[in-house]
Structure 1
């Protein structure tokens, strides 16, 4: 640590969908040295940005993890929810042994302090255990990034997420499609991380944010947009030059959709997890946290440009599936 600021940052998942954006945002500040922690057998290191130190580890050997994390001021974990169980715990325990004072755990979504929500979506329970472990070990403090779902991914990847089927021009609204949520782009979330980790650790004036005062063991709520499905639909229609008449519009109770997804998931269908996860976040009356975008100086993004990117993503996915079938 240097002059009351975080300097050395280790990141797991540096070449991943979110991790690569976080790395780029951190490097752009000119304030941080970034280390990518990767598996010994990883073949994805060529995708890691230049200027990043790469340390290969064996997750079955804690000494390997501890050595990689020695001298780091912060550990950022960005991994798929399908990562092997216990991976985060191994990293958290190694970070404590290495004396890493700050951790951004693998929480990129909701504020998991809502116990019922956490139970309903499963990953919230795991997140709670990881936060509790950090606090129990007593070496590191955690910062949770509550950014909602990824906008381009959720809108453009599959109809089971935000409900839009661009290839068949159909949309399924949960309930009336009017429940809002926070949703973020990868770029906005990465910028928020870089801004937070560039703040002083402590000691600034009362009107200035610090890590100790504003972010220690709590959530940073940020977003790109606060939107309902109906809001998204208005953007989709603007981008595509369509009207309601051009779309097949369906409605389904969010609780019914959640139960469908739960049954699929419990029956071994992984697609059911996405269905239950998204349906649960659209339950009527679910509280939507106010973001701290203005305090962090985050930019306002162009909704229609992001929607356009999501639609292009859906077209690319459809093409790749078509190529695979030919």
Structure 2
């Protein structure tokens, strides 16, 4: 790609992101991203929401109520015009073509960057994405953005959300806190990367606070443009299930004897899930997805450069994050997948 420098931009160029639009600002990850973007105080943030939406949105947001699922995107394009970044953080249950419609409207409006509803798996790991049944979605999103030629995508690689997954039942990280059961995959020692919701929020806010381009050829400082059509890698913890279990016992004041621990093969669990999905039983999707990350050859521990330091992300306290996950699990805040 031809180098772009701030010094070569037209008059009036400020070399920073000033205007951001977000779809899904009231959702699980969207609300966290919105909170940290507002906290940075560096952007004008517009929440694009459906006219019928009743979700409460935080103070400090501009709100544009638009029917973005229809075939006529005139109003949506007008709302997006002048925005530099579009963040899409929609529910997995949203209509399949929703992201595509937003991407096409963003291209028409000249939005430079899109974070397109990818907050998790290492998108550069083809085998992991293929086995997790995410490759087709990844390719559809990224190829459409590239083909339209107006925007660049940036994918946040954070792996599974820690507190959400810890409290999300035995099909995720293996824990049922109300029943005090724990499903250990393999011998429980395969390390993976995992990120808390606040760390993801801090990462996106820091990313979009970077200058857009280097000032000139001598400027080696980090920029947003260096992540064009690629991934940003962040993490809160690198740990195995046994590390999680030790933290859980510290937080809950329990011992091994208080728990019923069973062991399963990650490969067999994944295979059973894939077979069920091929027969149309999507109830096992979560079990399949999580089991694949714990394969012993290390796909859950990304090999690419970690960008925590570049983004100035803090070192987090594991037991504090675990306490949040335990609370979420005990209160049923995360629906189990079955």
TM-score calculated relative to the size of structure 2? 0.89
The yes-or-no answer on 1:155 pairing with 2:166 is yes
SS state at 1:83 partner: coil
Q: Aligned ranges for residues 145-294 of structure 1 at < 5 Å?
A: 145-204=156-215, 206-213=219-226, 215-287=227-299, 288-289=301-302, 290-294=305-309
What is the aligned-residue RMSD (CA, Å)? 1.9
Give the structure 2 partner of residue 57 of structure 1: 66
Distance apart, 1:269 and its partner CA: 4.0
Distance apart, 1:210 and its partner CA: 0.5
The 1-side partners of 2:209 and 2:200 are apart by 14
Give the structure 2 partner of residue 75 of structure 1: 86
The 2-side partners of 1:320 and 1:161 are apart by 11
Distance apart, 1:226 and its partner CA: 1.0
Deviations 1:278-313 (A, max 9, x none): 001111113322421112110111110111111111
Give the structure 2 partner of residue 84 of structure 1: 95
Identify the structure with the greater helix proportion: 1
Indicate if the aligned counterparts of 1:171 and 1:249 stay in contact, CA closer than 8 A. Answer: yes
The 2-side partners of 1:137 and 1:7 are apart by 23
Structure 1 residues 88, 97: CA separation in 2 closer, same or farther (over 3 Å shift)?
same
Indicate if the aligned counterparts of 2:114 and 2:154 stay in contact, CA closer than 8 A. Answer: yes
The 2-side partners of 1:210 and 1:20 are apart by 25
Indicate if the aligned counterparts of 2:328 and 2:334 stay in contact, CA closer than 8 A. Answer: no
Q: Aligned ranges for residues 300-311 of structure 1 at < 5 Å?
A: 300-311=315-326
Distance apart, 1:177 and its partner CA: 1.2
The 2-side partners of 1:29 and 1:115 are apart by 34
Q: Choose the corresponding residue for 2:104, options 76, 93, 96.
A: 93
The 2-side partners of 1:41 and 1:177 are apart by 46
Query: What is the aligned length?
Result: 318
Structure 1 residues 41, 275: CA separation in 2 closer, same or farther (over 3 Å shift)?
same
Indicate if the aligned counterparts of 2:19 and 2:82 stay in contact, CA closer than 8 A. Answer: yes
The 1-side partners of 2:41 and 2:13 are apart by 14
- Mean Cα deviation higher: 96-105 or 77-86: 77-86
Structure 1 residues 104, 319: CA separation in 2 closer, same or farther (over 3 Å shift)?
closer
Give the structure 2 partner of residue 324 of structure 1: none
The yes-or-no answer on 1:132 pairing with 2:143 is yes
TM-score calculated relative to the size of structure 1? 0.93
Distance apart, 1:319 and its partner CA: 12
Indicate if the aligned counterparts of 1:112 and 1:128 stay in contact, CA closer than 8 A. Answer: no
Which gives a bigger RCO, structure 1 or 2 (Cα 8 Å, sep 6+)?
2
SS state at 1:293 partner: coil
